[in-house]
Amino acid sequence: MIEEFMESAFRAATYGLRKRMRRALDGPVGCVMMGLKSGLRKTQSLVGASLALMLQ
């Protein structure tokens, strides 16, 4: 139950982030945001893995 809630909350948070990212990509900060995006993806998977370990 808690695990499912955490997963949906995490998905909602990342979805909101992605929406903001797309909006920012339209602006002049495109190349900077692209670099941050790949970094975010790495931290995202790290956070996901640590969450999964903590919930076990």
The string of DSSP letters for the chain reads: -HHHHHHHHHHHHHHHHHHHHHHHHTSTTHHHHHHHHHHHHHHHHHHHHHHHHHH-
Q: Could you read off the pLDDT tens digit of each residue along the chain, which spans 56 residues?
A: 678 887 887 887 777 777 776 676 666 666 676 677 777 778 877 777 787 888 87
Phi then psi dihedrals of residue 28, to 5 deg? -75, -10
Stated pTM of the model: 0.31
